[in-house]
Structure 1
Amino acid sequence: MGFSRKRAAKNGKPRYTAYYTDLRGRELSAGTFATKKEADKAWQKEEAKAAEGHTGDPARKRQRFRRYVEEEWLPNHVMEATTREGYTYSIYAHIMDWFGPLRMIEIMPSDVRAWVKDQHDRGCSPAVIRLNKSILSGIFTTALNDQITVLHPCKGVKTPTVPKKPLRIVAPEEFDKLYVALSSDDARLLAETAIESGMRWGELTELRVKDIDLTTRIVTVSRTVVELNPKNHPQGKRFLVKQYPKDREFRRFKLSPHMTAKLKHHVESKKLGPEDLLFLHQEEAPALKTIPDQTTPLGLTDPNAAGRSYRHGTLSAYSAGKCRCHHCRGAYATYRAQRRRTGKDHPRNPRTWDTDGHIPRRWFRDHIWRPALKTSGLDFKVRMHDLRHAHASWLLAGGADLQVVKERLGHGSISTTEKYLHTLPDADDTALDALARTRSRTR
């Protein structure tokens, strides 16, 4: 039951504050008024709203965007760990500076449109603007459901068009060049498993021996691993294993006999147990640079400031002659490495990757994938995820059933699988042949 409480204002005149009880039993203020009659009407009105389920704390509606996001939305909104990490970055990089000082109830569609224009003027790509707007829209959808705002300011606000680019699929000949250029047998097996199975990176690097039936050649995808900043990990670690794949549904598919034979040989040669990771992070020690063969005279460096020249491939040429050719840099690097091996020059400990055995995505990209891509001579940048695209495209080009490919890849919709139809470079050959046959009739 609500009530009115009399109090004295600064000028000594009486004022009346209306109080009511919400659905949680909390005593809240409905405002302060000049007369008791007005105060009684105010608390009665709020209690009527409470009975209808339309009540809310007026103070919550006056809170600022920063407080709502930091104290209510981010801590209590249920989302994947990787999604939370990405959303947190985008909020503080693109959203908080603009909307943080504003009160939630005061933010209008015009404010969102002005923010979208500011994003565009600062050089953000249409894809980034669309992502940021979807995050902002999610915040206000929750705020609207919580009765903190009375309208959704993102509704009807348009963002720049994001063009749909055609998929560039790796052709079999191109994959063969990349496969040969990989630096180790383990890396080649990882890449071949990726293109033969179509698994995502997280599913592939969390694959364990127990997940493959080497007799029936059936692979069961039931987990995935994600890499996080330790501050976003529940236990402060780097890798988080989720007990379900991206589509939240287990899937099973069969591997080819030759792929299964390679994996079986890998398991036996590495002496892996059922719980062991199939592909384990094994960082190789960097090879020491050696002084190049100097059987052929290398000549002298250009004269330095003092007019002196030095023989290439010597310490003097590097330090006094300021020469930075391959030979001089190699000589100096070898000299420094030899001193560090003997404990001189206070060498720093070599950098190690924070991993529990899973392969860090960045390490694989920088130390394995990109060097192989450069060696292969391909004229476009192939990502590891592009092997999954190639798997789907190759299957469909070979005549595989669309529904089978969908289930094999774990797509949520058949339309996702359909985008891989006719994506290989020779996909239009049939159409061109038909066109040529038709035109030939008139000649």
Structure 2
Amino acid sequence: MGFSRKRVDKDGNVRYTATYRDLKGRIRSAGTFSSKKKADKAWQDKEAELRQGRVGDPSRGQMTLRKYAEDVWLPNHRIEPKTREKYTGYLDKHIFPELGPMKMADIFPEHIRQWITKLQAAGVSPWVIQSCKSSILNALFTTALNDQIIYIHPCRGVKIPTVPSTPRTIITPEQFDVLYQALGEPDHRLLVETDIETGLRWGELIELRVKDLDLATRMLTVSRKATEISPKFHPDGKRFLITRYPKDKEFRRLKLSKQITKKLQAHIDAHRLGPEDLLFARRVQARPPIRVQAVPDPAELGLTRPNAKGRQYQHGTISAYNAGPCRCDHCRAAYAQYRAERRAKGKDRPRTTIKVEDHDEHIPRNWFRRYVWHPALKAADLGITPRVHDLRHSHASWLLHGGADLQVVKDRLGHASIVTTQKYLHTLPEADDTAIDAFTKIRKRSKKKNKKPKKPLKTTS
């Protein structure tokens, strides 16, 4: 049992320290207060919190779902950092606003059904509702039930909205050739071609290093993946987390074609890559310094090119830099001088610069999608808008359509179940041609049987 300890400070003031024993019997302090009443309340509150943590104590269920999730479940739940980031976001956005203030013991299936109904009314997609209920809440309440915090599982028997299974987008070889030509940079072309020829996931692709490729045997080893996460979820506060195993948690090896191997070897030689270097990287170069020593009179520099609205501006002005938009040395110098003057007056906070040597060379997914993939799709005008991940789907579809063994394709892609691989059968547009031909054949036969014979012509004698 806790107690309040009287103490007198160096000024002669009487203070009271609230003390209590933790679950391991150690004496702890709950703070120092000016009155014994406040100190008694502090150690009593601490003992009440400890009772919530004892197995079999009904008061354990009195903690709120938010407190249990943030203080007990989430910190000790074994999940990948990227999954932890996703769970935290869904908890804050979709779960805590409705269920967070409720006590664990007071949550029943009816409350889960009401919560799902509100999410649907708010326009939340069935995929998000499925993740929140089936992945997060189901795991949270299962742990709470095993720890005897609750005695009924609120999620059991509660149905979620139907989650439709959308068809995969498959790029045909003809469409890929058009898309390949629309990619401007040779390195981007090689990355996309490697993806379609290997079927690697994005995290596996951007973590490929020279040492993973055996040029003699043309064998590629997939043993790591790079995951882009928020720095606050990274153990070292970085942007990319390197996991020493792929998604399926098993190393796999696959053979490359001769033509892609030659291209990769030429790429390695051209960039002078070492064994530990990334095959595909966003290599940052230091920005050349502004060479203009003095900003000339803007009236002497002429006008910028017409912008999207057909307007022109004087070179060497802020308007030319912002609205032009012109990035010549004169306009950059004018903008740099403007920002320097504002910082000197304390109006702007200087932005932290990224040092080249500290920059992570892994290619961010969103950066590649925005500046490489989407412009290429727009230029190619395929009539479809595939994702980068659809290159993996297309790889599997091409192999199976070309007659590759189902088990070989499963091992090559790293699927946990062959059922997943079977879903890629008959996904190319021409896969159903045999069915259409068979149907047309039977349909024509029916028309021939029902066709009335022609009457013989009458002859006159």
Same topology, TM > 0.5? yes
Query: CA contact under 8 A between 1:64 and 1:103: conserved in structure 2?
Result: yes
In 1, Cα distance between the equivalents of 2:278 and 2:327? Answer: 37
Change (3 A) 1:418 1:334: closer
Decide whether the 8 Å contact of 2:183 with 2:189 is kept in 1: yes
2:115 maps to: 115
Q: How far does the alpha carbon of each residue in 1:12-50 deviate from its partner, in whole angstroms, 9 at most, with x for none?
A: xxxxxxxxxx997899xxxxxxxxxxxxxxxxxxxxxxx
Instruction: Look up the SS of the partner of 2:435 in the other structure.
Output: helix
Following superposition, the deviation at residue 101 of structure 1 comes to 1.3
Specify the alignment match of 2:60 in structure 1.
Answer: 60
TM score, norm. by length of structure 1? 0.77
Q: Is the 8 A contact 2:170 2:394 kept in 1?
A: yes
Q: Distance in 2 between matches of 1:164 and 1:190?
A: 29
Could you say what secondary structure the match of 1:441 adopts? helix
In structure 2, what is the equivalent of residue 411 of structure 1?
415
1:131 to partner: Cα distance = 1.1
Amino acid at match of 2:185: S
2:437 matched residue in structure 1: 433
Equivalent positions of 1:233-244 (< 5 A) are 233-244=234-245
| 1:368 counterpart letter in structure 2 | V
Tell me by how many angstroms 1:233 deviates.
0.5
Aligned length: 367
User: In 1, Cα distance between the equivalents of 2:352 and 2:325?
Assistant: 16
Q: Which of 371, 385, 388 lines up with 2:389 in the alignment?
A: 385
Contact 1:339 1:345 in 2 (8 A): no
Q: Deviations over 1:247-286 (max 9, x none)?
A: 0011111001111111111111111111111011135899
Q: CA deviation at 1:124?
A: 0.6
Q: Structure 1 residues 335 and 261, CA, compared in 2 at 3 Å: closer, same or farther?
A: closer
Distance 1:110 1:26 in 2: 42
- Provide the rounded CA distance (Å) in 2 between the counterparts of 1:92 and 1:260: 47
Q: 1:130 to 1:85 in 2, by over 3 A?
A: same
**2:160 matched to which residue of 1?**
159
Residues 104 and 148, structure 1, Cα contact 8 Å, conserved in 2: yes
CA distance in 2 between partners of 1:73 and 1:179 (Å): 47
SS at match of 2:220: strand
Alignment partners' CA distance in 1, 2:165 and 2:441: 32
Q: Shift in Å at residue 335 of structure 1?
A: 5.6
Gaps of 5+ in 2: 2-21, 28-53, 289-301, 341-349, 449-461
Identify if the C-alpha distance between structure 1 residues 258 and 228 changes in structure 2 by more than 3 Å, giving closer, same or farther: same
Q: Which moved more, 1:388-397 or 1:176-185?
A: 176-185
CA RMSD of aligned residues (A): 2.9
Q: 2:238 corresponds to which letter in structure 1? A: K
CA deviation after TM superposition for structure 1 residue 346, in Å: 2.8
Structure 2 counterpart of 1:40? none
How far did residue 129 of structure 1 move?
1.0
Structure 1 residue 171, shift from structure 2 partner: 0.8
**CA contact under 8 A between 1:202 and 1:225: conserved in structure 2?**
yes
In the TM superposition, 1:27-176 aligns within 5 A as: 55-134=55-134, 135-176=136-177
Closer/same/farther in 2, CA of residues 205 and 160 from structure 1, 3 Å limit = same
Q: Secondary structure at the match of 1:344?
A: helix
Q: Which amino acid aligns with 1:147?
A: Q
Instruction: After TM superposition, list the pairs within 5 Å mapping 1:287-436 onto structure 2.
Output: 314=303, 325-326=309-310, 328=312, 332=320, 333=324, 337=328, 338-341=330-333, 343-346=336-339, 355-436=359-440
Report the Cα offset of residue 440 of structure 1.
Answer: 3.3
Match of 2:269? 268
Contact 2:108-2:154 at 8 Å conserved across structures: yes
Instruction: Give unpaired runs (5+ residues) of structure 1.
Output: 4-21, 28-53, 288-312
The SS at the match of 2:66 is: helix
C-alpha contact 1:340 1:346 (8 A) present in aligned 2: no
Contact 2:62 2:103 in 1 (8 A): yes
Query: Any idea what SS the aligned residue of 2:312 has?
Result: helix
Q: Partners of 1:170 and 1:330 in 2: how far apart? A: 47
Contact 1:112 1:157 in 2 (8 A): yes
Q: Aligned partners of 1:59, 1:150: CA distance in 2, in Å?
A: 12
Is 1:200 aligned with 2:201? yes
Q: Which amino acid aligns with 1:136?
A: L
Task: Report the Cα distance in structure 2 between the residues aligned to 1:407 and 1:286, rounded to whole angstroms.
Answer: 44
Structure 1 residues 188-227: aligned runs within 5 Å = 188-227=189-228
User: What secondary structure sits across from 2:60 in the alignment?
Assistant: helix
Match of 2:36 in 1: none
Cα 1:335–1:25 change in 2 (3 A) is: closer
